[in-house]
Amino acid sequence: MKVLVAKDYYDMSKIAAVIVKKCIQNKPTSVLGLPTGRTPEGMYECLVNMYKRGALDFSQVTTFNLDEYRGISPEHPNSYHYYMKHIFFNHINISMQNTHLPNGQAADIVQECQDYEGKIQKAGGMDLLVLGLGNNGHIGFNEPSESLNLHTHLTLLTEDTLRANAALFHSMDEVPKEAITMGMGTIMKANKILLLVSGTEKKDIFKKMITRKITTQIPASLLQLHKDVLVIADEASLEKNVVYTKEHTAFYKWV
């Protein structure tokens, strides 16, 4: 795992967008894994700007999102379907049939999870998967637990996550309690992983995920086992007294 320190949120977003751009330029038919949340919004904005400047073509790109809430419609403003359309897909030349998110309203959730996993495999797996870091160490919606799931599955969200997500809903009661998420095995099979970490509220969990032992109680710590992970962390998310060893810190020669 390599850590690239970005000056601030804008710098992190710009570097992340350049990495996605290089991936697409190297392979126009790239399969991307994509996150939601506040952290990647700046990256999406940079990618949209690159597209508008004519520097990027998404026409052959395929995407798979990490997760979706269970039980809310794709038109719901807090659904990840809505987020992706409004923040990203509506502003670029991607073919909507090449974009995929789990269907949180599927009648048969088990089948939906199997189908989603199958579609990722059929597409040849993910060339690059971009991730955010949950306040409790989750990635996608793989929540801290005694054991973790390999494949795409339905999961119960933890209290921490419900509280973190409540800010985006009118009330705590409205926050979906379940979600469909790629599993840890789905994530670990991605060819390259880019983890974005930003802001003082991620300081503590980022330090834990990188300096402690690998544990299912911090799902993101498992990323240390992946062969090709780059973390872009802004200065605000770094604990000043932690020595990010040479093993952790490398400078940007990744794609």
Interacting residues with ligand GLP (CB under 6 A): 35-39, 66-67, 132, 134, 140-141, 161, 165
- CA proximity to 204, closest of 236, 159, 226: 236
Residue with tokens 């998310």: 237
CA distance 162 to 175: 7
What contacts 24+ positions apart, CB below 8 Å, involve 89-97?
91/48, 91/51, 91/52, 92/47, 92/48, 92/51, 92/56, 92/58, 93/51, 93/57, 93/58, 93/59, 94/58, 94/59, 94/61, 94/63, 95/59
Q: Smallest distance, Å, CB 133 to ligand GLP?
A: 6
Catalytic residue among 81, 100, 138, 153: 138
Catalytic residue among 65, 100, 117, 136: 136
Catalytic residue among 143, 153, 165, 234: 143
Our answer to whether residue 247 is catalytic in this structure is no
Q: Smallest distance, Å, CB 85 to ligand GLP?
A: 17
Q: Rounded to whole angstroms, what are the CA distances from 162 to 3, 33, 101, 220, 228?
A: 29, 23, 21, 18, 31
Catalytic residue among 65, 67, 81, 153: 67
Can you say whether residue 58 is alpha, beta or left, with left for phi > 0 and alpha for psi between -120 and 50 degrees? alpha
Our answer to whether residue 146 is catalytic in this structure is no
Q: Smallest distance, Å, CB 176 to ligand GLP?
A: 11
State residue 196 phi and psi, 5-degree precision.
-105, 130
Nearest residue to ligand GLP, using CB? Answer: 132
Q: Is the four-CA dihedral 45, 98, 175, 78 of positive or negative sign?
A: positive
Indicate the residue among 95 and 197 with the shorter CB distance to ligand GLP: 197
Indicate the residue among 41 and 57 with the shorter CB distance to ligand GLP: 41
Q: Smallest distance, Å, CB 179 to ligand GLP?
A: 7
Structure tokens at 206: 């980022």
Indicate the residue among 102 and 132 with the shorter CB distance to ligand GLP: 132
Q: Smallest distance, Å, CB 2 to ligand GLP?
A: 19
Our answer to whether residue 138 is catalytic in this structure is yes
Indicate the residue among 48 and 129 with the shorter CB distance to ligand GLP: 129
CA distance 231 to 204: 15
Our answer to whether residue 67 is catalytic in this structure is yes
Indicate the residue among 62 and 181 with the shorter CB distance to ligand GLP: 181
CB 150, CB 183: distance < 8 Å: yes
Q: Hey, which residues are catalytic here? A: 67, 136, 138, 143
